[in-house]
Structures are given as C-alpha cells and as structure tokens.
C-alpha cells in the first residue's frame, strides 16, 4: 500500500496543472483500467472536475511499480 506522502504529492502536483495538461494526462492515463473520455466532453469540464477525475484515477490505480 502506498504511503500518505505518495498521495499528498500526487494531489499537490495535480492541483498545479493547467487544463490542457490535465486533459493530456487523462487521455494518456496508464493504469489498471482505461479512461475513455472524448475531447468534446473533457473540454466542457471545469479544471476542478478534471482534477477530480485524474486524482480519483491515480488513487484507484495505486502507485507505479
């Protein structure tokens, strides 16, 4: 299991990302599951909602080995 420090670092990093970088990371997410969002859908979302999606995906995928 990952440490609290790992999750803190991920949350801090995501909080500083701009919309284009958030969309890029969501579209290129490499985890145990695939994220499949269209550009049209992602463009409609607020920065905070994009951050929520990315952080939730990272927390559920766990740390990289």
Spatial distance between the Cα atoms of 1 and 63, rounded to a whole number of angstroms: 8
pTM over 0.75: yes
CA distance 12 to 23: 17
Which residues have a Cβ under 8 Å from the Cβ of 27 and sit 6 or more positions away?
Answer: 35, 37, 39, 42
Query: Where is pLDDT greater, at 64 or 26?
Result: 26
pLDDT at residue 64 in the model? 62
Q: How far apart are CA 56 and CA 61, in angstroms?
A: 8
Q: Each residue of 18-29: pLDDT tens digit?
A: 999 999 999 999
Of 11-15, 41-45, 61-65, which range is least confident?
Answer: 61-65
């Amino acid at each position: 299991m990952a440490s609290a420090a790992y999750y803190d670092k991920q949350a801090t990093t995501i909080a500083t990302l701009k919309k284009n970088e958030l969309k890029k990371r969501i579209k290129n997410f490499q985890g145990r599951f695939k994220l499949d969002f269209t550009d049209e859908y992602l463009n409609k979302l607020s920065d905070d909602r994009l951050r929520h999606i990315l952080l939730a995906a990272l927390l559920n995928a766990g740390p990289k080995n």
